[in-house]
Amino acid sequence: MSLKFGTDGVRGVANSELTPELALALGRAAARVLGGSTWLVGRDTRQSGPMLTAALAAGLASEGVAVTDLGVLPTPGVAHLAAADDVPAAMISASHNPFADNGIKLFAAGGRKLTDEVEAAIEAELLRAGVHVDGADRRTGAGVGAIGSDPGAVRRYLDHLVAAPLDGRRFDGLRVVLDEANGAAAGLASEVFTALGALVVSMHDRPDGTNINEACGSTYPEDLRAAVVAHGAHLGLAFDGDADRVLAVDAAGELVDGDQIIAICAIDLHERGLLTHDTVVVTVMSNLGFRHGMAAHGIEVVETAVGDRYVLEALDQGGHVLGGEQSGHVIFRRLASTGDGILTGLTILDVLGRSGRSLAELAAAAMTRLPQVLVNVRTSHRDPELLEKLGPELAAAEAGLGERGRVLLRPSGTEPVVRVMVEAPSEAEAAAVAGLLADAVHALAG
């Protein structure tokens, strides 16, 4: 049975690529590698979620694990409960992907995403055992794990959010529009912000199993931009399907991305003496303007591979407290072990309230984004030597831009594409360089 972990767990078309049989086998393999007598399993609002939850739970229970079905809960909520209870966990979600897709994210005890080595061990165990387990290895009688539920799971996570970052401060008088992506944040996010005094307008908050991420959320913020202006709100927040990321919109309807959010939060922590080692952690995809902005404020930048689990590793290795991705994954390490869109949104409102400045003012003071062009080149095959073969073209592009810009080529960890990213002083120059590199990638692997 074939399975490969991507940048953020396992993903595929539900019941075609990611089947119940595969989920069951993955549950068995994960239980054998990660251990644990109790596991937590949450999901987003996709129609295939209950099916895959049942299959994964069955695989875990067949290895003697007691499984608690958390129901619909954001990914950071699952990670928080896993950390609080010191148990392994799984999240059934394909994040920002269309509803027909689904995925499985695994957390080790303590709510941490898995290392590459642990993922490789699970892949090997799955390949070794597959769906079939020898009768001698099967548990029977009282050795079979029970599957139950936790009606209080959502409340535990909600209480954590309300209490975590604010030290008793409230958002009275601040108006915010929330795009809940018809996903795991639906209902929960508005309850949190309302409890803290914000005037909340909710949209895309009625999931039906098929409308998650559909023309809404962090991958499609156009409705939110219009709604913020129409309601005269101070800002808007757009979550993705499992609410582990968020993008913001200022009062004029302009988008504020993850780089800008991290920059705002880093400067705020730095000025209050709370940014450990005066360092922030981001991935190679962060805008060059972010690096310039941090340097201007005396903040060091540590760079990692793409994926919030690599950001987390760097945070823990260096004893740092803030990191994240341009896509809107932001990790406040003192409060969470993964990106948390709702927690990030709360922090943004808190900075606004304490500073007395608008989101647009904070973003402009934090950094100036260089024009960035991203081209996804779909490939017909994976070539491990592709980047080496593109060496001359890449060197020529980098030489042409010099210190004025930046070029990045990387294979996607979740899709059969190569991402070509170019930053330059102008949109036209970035687009021209990206086009040349995309053509070169397509000629070799398209």
Q: Are strands 300-304 and 279-283 parallel, antiparallel or unpaired?
A: parallel
Distance CA 134, CA 143 (A): 16
Three-state secondary-structure class, residue 373: strand
Distance CA 372, CA 390 (A): 20
Joined together, the tokens standing for residue 371 give 């024009």
Q: Provide the sign of the torsion angle of the four alpha carbons 278, 282, 287, 288, taken in this order.
A: positive
Name the residue type at position 424. Answer: A
Name the residue type at position 339. Answer: G
Residue 286 annotated among the catalytic residues of the structure: no
348: Cα separation from own chain's centroid: 17
Say which of 62, 95, 190, 286 is annotated catalytic: 95
Q: Are strands 38-43 and 300-304 parallel, antiparallel or unpaired?
A: unpaired
Three-state secondary-structure class, residue 292: helix
Distance CA 427, CA 122 (A): 44
Distance CA 119, CA 130 (A): 16
Name the residue type at position 411. Answer: P
Joined together, the tokens standing for residue 198 give 């914000």
Name the residue type at position 328. Answer: G
Place of tokens 């394909």: 94
Query: Is 223 buried (19+), middle (13-18) or exposed (0-12) by CB count in 10 A?
Result: middle
Name the residue type at position 330. Answer: V
Buried (b) or exposed (e) across 107-136, using 16+ Cβ within 10 A? Answer: bbbebbbbeeebbebbbebbeebeeebeee
Distance CA 93, CA 43 (A): 6
What is the DSSP code string of 125-157?
HHHHHTT---GGG---GGGSPPEEE-TTHHHHH
Nearest to 181 by CA among 231, 257, 256, 244: 244
Query: Is 217 buried (19+), middle (13-18) or exposed (0-12) by CB count in 10 A?
Result: buried
- By annotation, the residues acting in catalysis are 95
